[in-house]
């Protein structure tokens, strides 16, 4: 009878021991995750910073963009304002007596296909057309 009881008790003790070991290992894993959380957060922030820097380094400078724009604009057009924000989005205000000629000139320029017209207003003796977007 005693042997039968010990045989029946074996699987129950094995399950209890396995549960005890599992709980201890889960506790240690949670402790390690808590200790590594700040390091993981710093690593993720460093990756985001690297990605932002890579996009800044890969894009042409504003000077190079303006040089290309000078070659693409019609002779009677002039640049009223140029700005590039932190995300790399370019915003231009171009003064031209004929906005349609300006639009067609920028459409033909390969580096400015990502620009979209966002507005048009009357300036001194010319129209000022605003553009926004990515320039290559």
Question: Which CATH number fits the domain that encloses residue 83?
Answer: 3.30.1360
Q: How many domains does the chain have?
A: 2
Closest CA to 131 of 47, 43, 56, 72: 72
Same domain, 47 and 26: yes
13-37 pLDDT per residue, tens:
999 999 999 999 999 999 999 999 9
Same domain, 110 and 85: yes
CB 136 within 8 A of CB 110: yes
Mean pLDDT along residues 82-111: 89
40-86 pLDDT per residue, tens:
999 999 999 998 888 778 878 888 888 988 999 999 999 999 998 87
- The sign one gets for the Cα dihedral 100, 105, 108, 113 is negative
The pLDDT of residue 54 is 85
The pTM of the full predicted model, rounded to 2 decimals, is 0.60
CB 82 within 8 A of CB 70: no
Same domain, 46 and 93: no
Same domain, 42 and 89: no
The pLDDT of residue 3 is 84
Range of 49's domain? 1-58
- By DSSP bridging, strand 115-122 and strand 90-96 are unpaired
Same domain, 79 and 102: yes
């Amino acid at each position: 009878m005693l042997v039968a009881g010990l045989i029946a008790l074996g699987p129950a003790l094995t399950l209890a021991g396995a549960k005890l070991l599992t709980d201890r290992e889960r506790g240690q894993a949670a402790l390690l995750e808590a200790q590594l959380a700040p390091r993981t957060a710093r690593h993720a922030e460093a990756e985001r910073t690297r990605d932002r820097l890579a996009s800044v380094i890969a894009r042409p400078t504003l000077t190079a963009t303006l040089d290309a724009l000078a070659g693409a604009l019609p002779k009677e057009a002039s640049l009223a304002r140029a700005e590039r924000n932190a995300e790399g989005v370019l915003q231009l205000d171009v003064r031209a007596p004929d906005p349609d000629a300006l639009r067609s000139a920028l459409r033909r320029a390969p580096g400015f296909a990502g620009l979209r017209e966002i507005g048009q207003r009357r300036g001194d003796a010319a129209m000022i057309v605003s553009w926004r977007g990515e320039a290559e």
